[in-house]
Chain A
Amino acid sequence: MTAVITVPSSLDDLSFEQVLDQLAAHPPDAKVIVDARHCSFASPYGLTALLTLAQTRSERPTFLPPEDADKLTYWARAGFFRYAEELYDVQGVVPRPRSASESDVLLELTPITQSDDVHTVVERIKDKATQILTNRLHLISRATMGFTMALSEACQNIVEHAGRGGWVMVQVYQYRKRLGGRQVCVIAVCDAGVGFRRSLESSPRRPLTDRWDDGFALETAVVNGISRYGDPGRGQGLKGIRGYVHRWDGKLSVRSGTARIALVPPWDDDVPRRDNLAPFPGSQLQITIPEKSAA
Chain B
Amino acid sequence: MHIDVGHVLRHSASLPYADLVTRSTGAAVRRCIEAELAGLSEGDVATLDFTHIGMMDYSCADEVVAKLLLDLARRGARPSSLVFHGITDAHVEAIEDVLLHHGLALVVHFADGAARLIGAASDDERALWQLVHLRGASDVADLARESARESADILVVLEALLDRRLLKREGSTFAPIGVAA
A: which residues have CB within 8 A of B?
115, 118-119, 122-123, 126, 141-142, 145-146, 148-149, 152-153, 156, 159-160, 232-234, 236-237, 239-240, 243
Task: Give the residues in chain A near B57, CB-CB below 8 Å.
Answer: 148-149, 152-153, 156, 237, 240
Contacting pair A141 B89 (CB below 8 A): yes
**Least distance between B148 CB and chain A CB atoms (Å):** 36
A283 to B56, CA, bound (A): 24
B101 at interface, CB cutoff 8 A: yes
Pick the interface stretch among B92-100, B115-123, B156-164, B165-173: B92-100
State A236–B24 Cα separation when bound (angstroms): 15
B22 at the interface (CB under 8 A from A): yes
For residue A240, which residues in chain B have a CB less than 8 angstroms away from its CB?
57-58, 94, 97
A152 and B102 contacting across the interface, CB-CB below 8 Å: no
Contact status A156-B89, CB under 8 Å: no
Most chain A beta-carbon neighbours within 10 Å: one of B18, B23, B94, B101: B23
Known: A152-B21, A152-B57, A153-B57. A236 touches B97 (CB 8 A): yes
* Cβ-defined contact, A233 with B67, below 8 A: yes
Residues of B within 8 A of A146 (CB): 93
Contact A236–B93 (Cβ < 8 Å):
no
Chain A residues with CB under 8 A of B24: 115
Considering the complex, give the chain B residue whose CB is closest to the CB of A159: B22
Q: Which residue of A lies closest to B56 (CB)?
A: A149
Contacts of A234 in B (CB 8 A): 62
Given contacts A149-B93, A233-B67, contact A115 B58 (CB under 8 A): no
How many residues on B have C-beta within 8 angstroms of the other chain's C-beta atoms?
Answer: 26
Q: Which residues of B contact A237 (CB under 8 A)?
A: 57-59
Residues of B within 8 A of A (CB): 17-19, 21-25, 54-59, 62-63, 66-67, 89-90, 93-94, 97-98, 101-102
Q: Which residues of B contact A118 (CB under 8 A)?
A: 21-22
Closest residue on chain B to residue A236 by CB atoms: B58
Q: Inside 8 A of A232's CB, which chain B residues have their CB?
A: 102
- Do B58 and A149 touch across chains, with their CB atoms under 8 A apart? yes
How far apart sit A295 and B83, CA to CA, in the bound complex (Å)? 41
Closest to B98 in A: A236
Given the interface contacts A122-B19, A126-B55, A159-B22, does A149 sit within 8 Å of B94 by beta carbon?
A: yes
Closest 3 CB pairs of A and B: A233-B62, A240-B58, A152-B57
A-B contact pairs, 5 of them (CB 8 A): A115-B25, A126-B19, A126-B55, A145-B93, A236-B97
* Contact A115–B22 (Cβ < 8 Å): yes
Complex Cα spacing A116 to B19, Å: 12
Interface of A is mostly: helix
Report the minimum CB–CB distance from A124 to chain B (whole Å). Answer: 11
CB-CB under 8 A from B97, the residues of chain A are 236, 239-240, 243
In contact, B55 and A156 (Cβ under 8 angstroms)? no
A236 touches B22 (CB 8 A): no
List the A side residues contacting B93 at CB < 8 Å. Answer: 142, 145-146, 149
Partner of B55, one of A145, A233, A239: A145
Residues of the B chain whose Cβ atoms lie less than 8 Å from the Cβ of A115 = 22-25
Contact A156 B94 (CB under 8 A): no
Which chain B residues border A152 with CB–CB below 8 Å?
21-22, 57, 59
Complex: how many Å from CA A236 to CA B59?
7
Bound-complex Cα distance A92 to B57 (A):
42
> Contact check: which of A145, A153, A159, A239 meets B89 at CB < 8 Å?
A145
B89 contacts A142, C-beta separation under 8 Å: yes
Cβ 8 A contact of B101, one of A126, A149, A156, A233:
A233
Chain B residue with Cβ nearest A238: B58
Residue of B nearest to A150 (CB): B57
Separation in Å of the B110 CB from the closest CB of chain A?
Answer: 14
Residues of A within 8 A of B25 (CB): 115, 119
Q: Are B89 and A122 in contact (CB under 8 A)?
A: no
B90 touches A153 (CB 8 A): no
Asked if B94 and A119 sit within 8 Å, CB to CB, the answer is no
Q: A11 CA to B7 CA in the complex, in Å? A: 46
A58, B19: Cα distance in complex, Å? 38
**How distant is the Cα of A237 from the Cα of B56 in the complex, in angstroms?**
12
| Complex: chain A residue closest to B21, CB-CB | A152
Residue ID in chain A nearest B67 by CB atoms? A233
Q: Distance in Å from the Cβ of B39 to the closest Cβ of chain A?
A: 26
Q: How far is the CB of A222 from chain B (nearest CB, A)?
A: 14
